[in-house]
Amino acid sequence: MVLAGKTVVLCVTGGIAAYKAADLTSKLRHQGAAVRVLMTESATQFISPMTFETLSSNRVVVDTFDRNFAWEVEHVSLAKAADVFVIAPATANVIAKAAHGIADDMVTTTLLATKAPVVIAPAMNTGMYDNPVTQQNLETLRQRGFHIVDPAAGRLACGDTGRGKLADTPDLIWGIEKALTPQDMAGKRVLVTAGPTQEAMDPVRFLSNHSSGKQGYAVAARAAMRGAEVTLVSGPTALDTPNGVCRVDVVCARDMHEAVLARAETQDMIIKAAAVGDYRPAETASEKLKKGDGELTVTLARNPDILAELGQKKRPGQLLCGFAMETQNLLDNAADKLRRKNCDMLVANSLRDKGAGFQGDTNLATLLFADGKQETLPLMGKDALSDIILDRLLGLAGGV
C-alpha cells in the first residue's frame, strides 16, 4: 500500500467542507498512514479539533504561538516530518496565500517550510472557484509542481449548483497516492484494452468469455498513477473507471478494432489485455431466436485480429504488449503469438494455474520479449503485476 508508514500532514481550512476532512483522516489511518492535522482558526468554527485528535491520535495544531507543547519549532518540525502535505478543503484565501508565498498562520508557515509534495483540494462557492484570480492562482501552483485535486460539481451548501464541492474521499486519497508515486511515465501516452467482447446472436443472446477486465483496468490505473495519459478501451465490465483514465466503451470485437486503430498512431505504448472474441455469428438475427425441436446451427465468421494489425502498423519507437491466456503448451504458444503479432513483449498465463484465471485479483505470468528472453514471475496481485509490466516497457522504451 502506497500510504502505509507515510506521514500525512493534513491541513483543514475554513469552509463547510471541513467536516469531510474527518472521513479523510479516518481513511488515511485505515491505510496505514500517520496523520498530523493542522487547522486554521476559521476551520475550528466548522469542526472541533477534538474530532481530528480522536481520529488521528495526535494533537491538532492551530495556533502558531501555542506554548503548550514540547520545545521545538513546530511548523518546521511538521514540515520536515511530512511525506506528503495536504490542504483539504482548501479555501480561495489559502490558495491565494500559497500562490503568493504569504505565511501568516500555522498552515501557511508550515506549507512554506515543507519540501514534501503538496496536494491541494479546492472547495468553495462556484463563483469564487471560477473567478479568474482563483484559476490563475491554481495554475501558478500547478506550474510549481503542486498536485491539484479538482473539485466536484453539484449542489453546494450555499444553494448554488456548479463546480466547487470538495472531491470525494476516494478521489482525495488517489491524489495523495499519486503525489507519493514517482511520475516516471509522465509524458507517455498509453492505450490499454480490457475486458471481454460480446458478439450478438440476436437481441437477447451473445457469444463472450469469462474475462472480468481486472488485469487491464489495473494496468490502466497504475499507468495513470505513474503520470501517463491513459486511454482505456473497454469491453462490457462491472468495473469503475480508474481515476485519471479516459475510458472508451465498446461491445463487440469490431467496435474495439475501430476504437483502437483510430487512436493507435498517437500512442507511445499499446497494451492489449482485452480478451477479444476470435469469432462472431456470421449473421445476427433481428428477432429473438426461438427454441425449436431440433439443433441450432450457428455459422461463425472471423473477427479482425487487432493485435496483428497493430503489429503490422507499429510506428518506430512505439511499443506493443500483448497477452496470451492458454490451457496447454503455454510458452510455445505464447512465443509463437509474440512472433506472429510483432509484439515487443507478451504476458502469458495459463488457465490451469491456480490464481491465474479469469475473475480473480491475482495473476501468475511469464513475460516474453522479442529478443527471446523470458521472465517467470511468482503469484502476485494484479496491481503488482501491472507495475512490473509497465517497468519492463519503460526499460524497453529506454532502448528504442
Q: Is 327 left (phi over 0), alpha (psi -120 to 50) or beta?
A: alpha
Q: What SS3 class is residue 132?
A: helix
| 310's grid cell | 497493430
> Is there a catalytic annotation at residue 252?
no
DSSP string covering 166-184, please?
PPPHHHHHHHHHHHHS--T
Chain position carrying cell 517497468: 391
Q: Which helix (H) or strand (E) holds 163?
A: strand 161-165
Torsion of CA 25, 30, 32, 35, to 10 degrees: 10
Cα separation, 35 vs 23, in Å, equals 12
First to last CA, the chain: 32
Cα separation, 41 vs 20, in Å, equals 17
Closest CA to 327 of 369, 307, 304, 356: 356
Amino acid at 326: E
List the catalytic residue out of 158, 246, 252, 343: 158
CB distance 141 to 107 below 8 Å: no
Counting every residue written for the chain, the total comes to: 400
Which residues are catalytic, by number? 158
